[in-house]
Structure 1
């Protein structure tokens, strides 16, 4: 596989001469947040984080994401946090897309370059710092862990995408493949964060319709993506949210690979509403 080239926003503002027209859309079934939306004015500050700003892509909200939060975090040189996660019941994934991050994890120090991935179980002791001369940018995906009686919570781990062989989808001759950081049969995990890769011209040749909620951040390339009843052009830097059962399919537009970081909730029973 060719070396990855992950897209990450850098902020700034467009000139006053630019048109306002963009591809941003928010519906009851899906949302598209294109890279052009990720400007300085829409960043958020986080308590207990220094020299840090974040582009929030998804958060639990009525009519929007239900199971997860996702943001792109930018830490300037000398910044970071000794108390990054305020919720002891939250699990998380960090995925570095630019720069170099120092991660303290249960007393061990790790250096994460682009492609570096860390899984953080609930109540984990972790810290992050940028001790380089350049900003570091990474995705931080958070979910309230759903414990199951008789199943232990998963342990923390750190890995690099380059060290994992993608798993081809059956019948695709490797043109559609998934880089899996967690064994999909491991019931300890109630979310999967993977990287999906399509070679130029490859496709999802049917409308996937299933129970998992999705968050998709395009790391590389471009495609035409089917979202509910609409075909939407997406490219590196765009984010898509899909609610459960929203039909999806895609054609990779080339000339290079189309790749995205994918979140989905898995391996748990569907909660049932009770009559009052």
Structure 2
């Protein structure tokens, strides 16, 4: 498996300012070239750590979630990463190794490691190696449903077999870490994979909003009424009902980490 992670740095003074960053009402594209040292944020309660905040709830942008890239240096980490008791999270490791302590049990995460951290879980992260670790961290306020309660778990990209979409000859598949029929979960964070030539063959238009981080490869993505080239390291936010489609032209496969809010009735009061 191969996963993009940013290394920061600063472009030379000779670099052109023209880039692929786009902010529109229906979607946003944050290209990998934006992920530089000067736009990182420190996180309270973390040691030897910096982050790139890709999405947060603000007017005209994400409404249900936040998404961060977190880089933890050797000896770094946090004994209490989540400051809000009602917030659930997903950690997906893209570089290095981390030790996760979750409700008293120790888990050693390697690249591709995935942890769902239920709201109220007792967890911590530590980098006990001599190299940096980098991970995606997606957070959402958990919306409880009577009779259901999401439980924490740890797995990895390698342990979960992708599910092919019907009638596509295997060129489009989704690695689902949670059973879509499990109403305990109000968000899904999956990995979508396209082999070269694979497409989303219609303009999806639906109630879920999306955060998409490209882990590998490149493609042309339909965002509202635009076709936009994206590659490993790019982040896309799609507003609810934003039309979306994809064509993965190759030469390698195209993979992205996908957030969406699911399984809840629309609140009107």
Relative to the length of structure 1, the TM-score reads 0.97
Shift of 1:173: 1.3
Shift of 1:83: 1.1
Give the root-mean-square deviation of aligned CA atoms. 0.6
Distance (Å, rounded) in 1 between the aligned partners of 2:68 and 2:7? 14
Unpaired segments ≥5 residues, structure 1: none
Give the corresponding residue for 1:227: 223
Relative to the length of structure 2, the TM-score reads 0.99
Give the corresponding residue for 1:191: 187
Distance (Å, rounded) in 2 between the aligned partners of 1:115 and 1:179? 12
Shift of 1:174: 1.1
- The list of structure 1 runs, each at least 4 consecutive aligned residues, that deviate by more than 3 angstroms after superposition, is none
Distance (Å, rounded) in 1 between the aligned partners of 2:126 and 2:145? 33
Please give the residue correspondences for 1:12-27 in structure 2 after superposition, counting only pairs within 5 Å: 12-27=9-24
- 1:142 and 2:139 correspond: yes
Distance (Å, rounded) in 2 between the aligned partners of 1:66 and 1:141? 13
Distance (Å, rounded) in 2 between the aligned partners of 1:190 and 1:174? 28
Shift of 1:197: 0.2
Distance (Å, rounded) in 1 between the aligned partners of 2:250 and 2:210? 23
Distance (Å, rounded) in 2 between the aligned partners of 1:253 and 1:234? 11
Distance (Å, rounded) in 1 between the aligned partners of 2:82 and 2:150? 17
- 1:255 and 2:251 correspond: yes
Q: Report the number of matched residues.
A: 269
- 1:203 and 2:191 correspond: no
Unpaired segments ≥5 residues, structure 2: none
Distance (Å, rounded) in 2 between the aligned partners of 1:80 and 1:131? 9
- 1:9 and 2:36 correspond: no
Give the corresponding residue for 2:66: 69
